[in-house]
Structure 1
Amino acid sequence: MLNNAILFLIQAVLGLLSFAFLLRFYFQLTKAPFQNQIAQLIVTVTNFAVKPVRRFLPSIGKVDLSTLLLAYLTQIILSTCTLWLKGFPILVAGSTVWFVIVGVALIGILNISLSIFLYAVLIQAILSWINPHTPIAPVLNSLTYPILNILRKYIPPAGNFDLSPLVFIITAQLLLTTILIPLESNLLSTL
């Protein structure tokens, strides 16, 4: 029972930290405005690790490698701790387990990234009906514009309705349920 509580806490804390690192990475990549409370919260929460890592790993153009690396390392730690707390003998399992952990961490990064954009598009679509001038709207627009703009080139509006968010949400859910989740399960089943 104590293992379950510790596992829950580790998954919650490291999952949220990975989410925050990736959100910061995508905010910087899409040039989202940092003058709102949510962006400032993400910067404050992640600065403890991003500032020291940036000394050794600088950005390349718009790509902030330090936040991406930190998100990936957090996922590796999360995968390792999860296996260890579930009773898997990591230290004596051999080198195959490390390939699986690296793969599961990469899938975790892809899963969180897809979820960030999925929920950003969903929240943006809902807010466009309820309150399009909310303070978070510029951040959501900056974050979702690159993806939705590509879809808008191929999907014409139906009357006054933009169908690109709906197409993206369905496609993202399809990718999650048919590719990422089964791939992670297959990797973990090799242990």
Structure 2
Amino acid sequence: MLIQIANLILQVLVSIVAGACLLRCYLQWLAFNLGAGQSKSIGAYVLPLSNWIVLPLRRFVPSIGRFDLASCVAAYLLILAKISILLLISGATSIDISWLALALVDMLNLTLSGLLGLVFINIILSWVGTGTQIQFLVSLLVNPLLTPIRRVIPNFGALDLSPLALLLILQILQIILGNLKI
């Protein structure tokens, strides 16, 4: 029971903070201005959640072009810490190299889960709200993933099947990652 409670608490906390680090990395890759001084920007939410771990890491982990490696490493370290705590609570006696691989698989799974959520939000917002700031932001995040699929799938007029194809691809990748974890 203690392990389940610790797992729930750590999963929620780490998913939020590591997710913010991964979102920060993706936004920087898209050359999105996080607008640290703007209260209505996505940066007002992402930066406070991730600055405490990303900024110190930037002293040692440089960016690679537009790829914010420090944010990615921060997410990985958070997930590795969660796995380490849970395994130590469950009675593991030594650190194993498989923990490193398990953390990488968990980070990729968190990334895929976040992308699945963004695609669902994009679909719902395309039905109900047009022209809102949140719809613009979500479209900005999802469109780079949909563009290559739209080149392959034929246009059916008002019916856009590319989000469905992207959802299928992301879920297949999650199944593959789930089988790697076993």
Shared fold, TM over 0.5: yes
Distance 1:116 1:105 in 2: 16
Q: Quote how far apart the aligned CAs of 1:31 are.
A: 2.6
Q: Which residue type is aligned with residue 178 of structure 2?
A: I
Work out the percentage of aligned pairs sharing the same amino acid.
33
1:68-109 C-alpha deviation (Å, 9 max, x unpaired): 1101111111111121122222x2xxxxx5221111111111
1:37-63 C-alpha deviation (Å, 9 max, x unpaired): 443201111111111211222212101
Structure with the bigger RCO (C-alpha within 8 Å, sep 6+) is: 1
Residue 138 (structure 2) aligns with = 140
Specify which of 75, 84, 87 is matched with residue 79 of structure 2. 75
The SS at the match of 1:136 is helix
Gaps of at least 5 residues in structure 2 are none
Distance 1:2 1:153 in 2: 50
Residue 84 (structure 1) aligns with = 88
Distance 1:121 1:15 in 2: 18
Gaps of at least 5 residues in structure 1 are 92-96, 186-191
Bigger fraction of residues in helix = 1
Q: Does the CA contact (< 8 Å) of 1:118 and 1:169 recur in 2? A: yes
Name the Cα RMSD after superposition. 1.7
Residue 98 (structure 2) aligns with = 100
Q: Does the CA contact (< 8 Å) of 2:76 and 2:104 recur in 1? A: yes
Moved more, 129-138 or 3-12: 3-12
Q: How many residues align?
A: 178
Residue 63 (structure 1) aligns with = 67
Change (3 A) 1:133 1:33: farther
Distance 2:168 2:3 in 1: 36
Q: Quote how far apart the aligned CAs of 1:139 are.
A: 1.8
Structure 1-normalised TM-score?
0.85
